[in-house]
Amino acid sequence: MSDAAQPTAAEVRAAAEAIKTALDRHLAAVERRSGEDDPAVSEAFNQLAAAAEAYDELLYDRYDEVTPFEIPGAEDTLPPYAGPEEPNAISVLIRRDYTVAEPQRLLAQAQRVEAAEYEEAGGGDDGAAGTVPGALATLFGEFEPDEIASRHKEFGLEEGDSTLWVTAADETPEAGEWLDAPFEHIDPQQVVCRFDVSAVFDDEDESDEEDDLEFVEDEDSEPLDTEK
C-alpha cells in the first residue's frame, strides 16, 4: 500500500476506541440478556467483531502489525433464526467467484457457442464473444451456472470462494418484485442455513492434519533396537 493510501495514526486510534466502546456495549448486553438467544447480545457481538476486524486492518496497513483477535467466520456471525416456523417459501442465494485464468480458452469456447448459434439461425457472426465480457455473457447465457461450475476449467476459469444461503419467507414474492435489486434487503434473521466453500478451510484442514501427524509421530515412534 502506498503512503498516500495508508490510514492516519488518528484513524487507527479511533478504531481502537471503537473496540473499547463495542466491548462495553457487548458486556452490557450480556449482563442484561433475557435469554440464550437474546438478539441484543447477537447484535453487540456482531458490532464487536466488526470493530475488531476494522482495527486489525488499519493497524496492519499503518504499522504492519497484527492483533491476537480471531475474527469469527461468517457462519458464526449470523444472528439467531427468527423467521417463520413453517415457511411457505424459500429463496436460494448463490455467489461463486472465479478467476479468468485462461482468457484465450474462455474466448474460444464462447466463439464456438456463438458460431453454432448463428449457423443454426442462418445469420452472420457479430463478434459479441470476441471480448472477455462478451464471452462471459455468451457462456453464462448458454450454460446453467451449475454446469459452468462443474466444467469451469474447460472455460478457462479458476474457482474461488462460494457461498449458498437459504432464506425463509411466509409468502412467495410477486413476479418481478425484486428483479431491480435482487440481492438487497436480505434479513440475516431469515437465513435458515448457509454453506461456504473456500481455500481457507482447506488450508486449515491441512494444517490440522499436519499437526495430527506430528503428534502421532512424536508419541508412537520408538528408536529401533539394533542390538543383537
The yes-or-no verdict on residue 53 having pLDDT over 50 is yes
Neighbours of 127 (CB within 10 A): 10
Tell the residue number behind the cell numbers 484442514, with chain if given. Answer: 205
- pLDDT band for position 40 (cuts 50, 70, 90): confident
Among residues 72, 79, 28, the alpha carbon closest in space to that of 51 is found at 72
Percent of the chain with pLDDT over 70: 78
pLDDT at 221 over 90: no
Residues 6+ apart with CB under 8 A from 80: 37, 39, 42, 189
65 vs 15: CA distance, rounded Å: 14
Q: What is the pLDDT of residue 138?
A: 94
| Range of 40-54, 130-144, 171-185 with top mean pLDDT | 130-144
Which of 11-25, 63-77, 179-193 comes out lowest in average pLDDT?
63-77
Widest CA span in the chain:
87
Sheet of 89-100, strands arranged across? 89-100, 157-169, 191-197
* 149-198 pLDDT per residue, tens: 999 999 999 999 999 999 999 999 899 999 999 888 788 889 988 888 88
Long-range pairs of 182-189 with CB within 8 A, sequence gap ≥ 24? 183/93, 186/93, 187/83, 188/78, 188/79, 189/39, 189/79, 189/80, 189/81, 189/82, 189/83
- The residue ranking higher by pLDDT, 54 or 76, is 54
Q: What is the pLDDT of residue 216?
A: 44
* pLDDT, averaged across the chain: 82
Residue, of 31 and 222, whose pLDDT is higher = 31
**pLDDT score for 188:** 85
Backbone phi and psi for residue 78, each to the nearest 5 degrees, phi listed first? -70, 135
Does pTM top 0.95 for this prediction?
A: no
User: Could you tell me if 12 and 56 are in contact, meaning their C-beta atoms sit under 8 angstroms apart?
Assistant: no
Task: Give the CB-side neighbour count of residue 24, counting CA atoms within 13 A.
Answer: 5
Q: According to the model, what pLDDT value does residue 108 have?
A: 94
Average pLDDT over residues 69-79: 58
Band of residue 126 on the pLDDT scale cut at 50, 70, 90: low
Average pLDDT over residues 120-130: 63
| Distance in angstroms (rounded) separating the CA atoms of residues 117 and 159 | 27
